[in-house]
Amino acid sequence: MRLFPRLLLSHLAVITAMGAVLVLTAELAAQPFIERHVDEMVRQMGGAGAGMRGDLSHGMRGTLTRALLTALPLALLVATATAWIAARRVTDPVRTLQAGSAALASGEYGRRLPEGGQDELAELAHSFNVMAGTLAQVEQGRVELIGNVAHELRAPVSAVRGYVEAAQDGLMSSQDAMRAVHRELGSLERLARDLSLVSRVEAGQVDLRPQVTAAQNLLEHALQRFALPFEERGVTLRVGPLPSPTPVWTDPERAAQILGNLLGNALRHTPPGGRVQVGAHAHAGRVQITVQDTGSGIAPEHLERVFERFFRADAARTRGEGSGVGLTVARGLARALGGDLTVQSTPGKGSRFCWTLPATPPGAGDTDSG
Mean pLDDT (whole number) for 236-265: 86
225 lies in some domain: yes
Picking from 167, 202, 237, the residue at the C-terminal end of a domain is 202
Question: Cα separation of 270 and 317, whole Å?
Answer: 12
Q: Residues 245, 363: one domain? A: yes
Average pLDDT, the chain: 81
End-to-end C-alpha distance for the chain, whole angstroms: 66
> Per-residue pLDDT for 225 more than 80?
yes
Question: Cα separation of 293 and 273, whole Å?
Answer: 11
> Per-residue pLDDT for 315 more than 70?
no
pLDDT tens per residue, range 155-204: 788 888 888 888 888 888 888 889 888 888 887 887 788 788 888 887 77
> Per-residue pLDDT for 40 more than 60?
yes
Provide the percentage of residues in the chain whose pLDDT is more than 70.
88
Picking from 108, 129, 147, the residue at the C-terminal end of a domain is 108
Closest CA to 29 of 56, 59, 55, 68: 68
Q: What is the pLDDT of residue 274?
A: 93
Q: What is the pLDDT of residue 47?
A: 60
115 lies in some domain: no
Provide the percentage of residues in the chain whose pLDDT is more than 90.
16
> Per-residue pLDDT for 364 more than 70?
no
282 lies in some domain: yes
Q: 3-state class of 248 per DSSP? A: strand
Q: Residues 141, 246: one domain? A: no
pLDDT band at 321 (very low <50, low <70, confident <90, very high): low
**Per-position DSSP letters for 128-140, written without gaps between them:** HHHHHHHHHHHHH
102 lies in some domain: yes
Q: Residues 261, 125: one domain? A: no
Q: Residues 224, 350: one domain? A: yes
Picking from 202, 235, 269, the residue at the C-terminal end of a domain is 202
- Classify the C-alpha dihedral 328-329-335-341 as positive or negative: negative
114 lies in some domain: no
Q: Residues 198, 247: one domain? A: no
Q: What is the pLDDT of residue 362?
A: 74
User: Are the C-beta atoms of 273 and 356 separated by less than 8 Å?
Assistant: no
- Helix %, strand %, coil % for the chain, to 5? 65, 10, 20
Q: What is the pLDDT of residue 314?
A: 58
Mean pLDDT (whole number) for 321-327: 70
Mean pLDDT (whole number) for 265-274: 91
Question: Cα separation of 85 and 186, whole Å?
Answer: 69
User: Are the C-beta atoms of 254 and 206 separated by less than 8 Å?
Assistant: yes
Q: What is the CATH number of the domain that holds 267?
A: 3.30.565.10
> Per-residue pLDDT for 223 more than 80?
yes
Q: Residues 46, 170: one domain? A: no
359 lies in some domain: yes
**Per-position DSSP letters for 188-224, written without gaps between them:** HHHHHHHHHHHHHHHTT------EEEEHHHHHHHHHH
Q: Residues 104, 145: one domain? A: no
Mean pLDDT (whole number) for 198-212: 84
Domain that holds residue 351: 211-368
pLDDT band at 2 (very low <50, low <70, confident <90, very high): low
- Classify the C-alpha dihedral 284-290-292-298 as positive or negative: negative
Q: Residues 193, 275: one domain? A: no
Total of domains in the chain: 3
116 lies in some domain: no
Q: Residues 343, 215: one domain? A: yes
Q: Residues 136, 279: one domain? A: no
pLDDT band at 241 (very low <50, low <70, confident <90, very high): confident
Q: Residues 83, 171: one domain? A: no
More confident residue, 354 or 69: 354
pLDDT band at 50 (very low <50, low <70, confident <90, very high): low
Q: What is the CATH number of the domain that holds 187?
A: 1.10.287.130
pLDDT band at 319 (very low <50, low <70, confident <90, very high): very low
Question: Cα separation of 156 and 189, whole Å?
Answer: 11
297 lies in some domain: yes
> Per-residue pLDDT for 338 more than 60?
yes
Q: Residues 243, 268: one domain? A: yes
pLDDT tens per residue, range 56-111: 677 777 777 777 777 778 777 877 888 778 777 777 777 888 888 888 888 888 88
